[in-house]
Amino acid sequence: MHSPPPPNIDTFAGVLRQTRLAAIVRGSDPDAALRTVLTLAEEGVALVEVSLNTTDALGVIRRASAEVGPGTVVGAGTVLTEGDVSRVQEAGAGWIVTPALTEAVAASVRAGLPVLAGALTPTEAVAARRAGADAVKLFPASLGGPAYLKALRDPFPDMPFVPVGGVDLAGAERYLAHGAVAVGVGSPLVGDAAHGGDLTALRERARRFVALCAREAQEEA
């Protein structure tokens, strides 16, 4: 087990570009969800999102934020309202993820929290950036796949897209090859760990994803 050094990058978008991976934890067992976050951190995942759909999500965020090393930042996902933003910030979340363009985007900007804002269409992606989003969560990415990201990148070559939704290891490689700054990965990485499942299997999956993303980042550098 190890605790990775903190990414030497000043901006949230820079951390995404350097690490290429955001893990998404969503589970029914708070203790298992906490163990999942800590295991991902130990395996070198720098950005770990705890979805508010997780049982006792605020408690998990609070405990995880206090226990992870400096190499990992715990964020909050499925953030919808201004009240959600206040609650997760109080719990210690260091970044915000929204599934759509909700009031939480502007609230996160006002709170000084980096935000990955959910969008699917070109209009929504532009609106997300104009609202102050640090990057655009392309969701659900599975609807159009890597080919859709490639099509979006033609008119928006500098848009920081992070595909989320059904992204497995092979899909992550394709999305990154098509210009995604990072990928957001839930069940293909986390599996059943946040419900009390096997942490050894989680470690093995995490190592594969971290190795792939590190390789992709090095190739672009």
Residues with a known catalytic role: 49, 137
SS3 for the chain is CCCCCCCCCCCHHHHHHHHCEEEEECCCCHHHHHHHHHHHHHCCCCEEEEECCCCCHHHHHHHHHHHCCCCCEEEEECCCCHHHHHHHHHHCCCCEECCCCCHHHHHHHHHCCCEEEEECCHHHHHHHHHCCCCEEEECCHHHCHHHHHHHHHCCCCCCCEEEECCCCHHHHHHHHHCCCCCEEECHHHHCCHHHCCCHHHHHHHHHHHHHHHHHHHHHHC
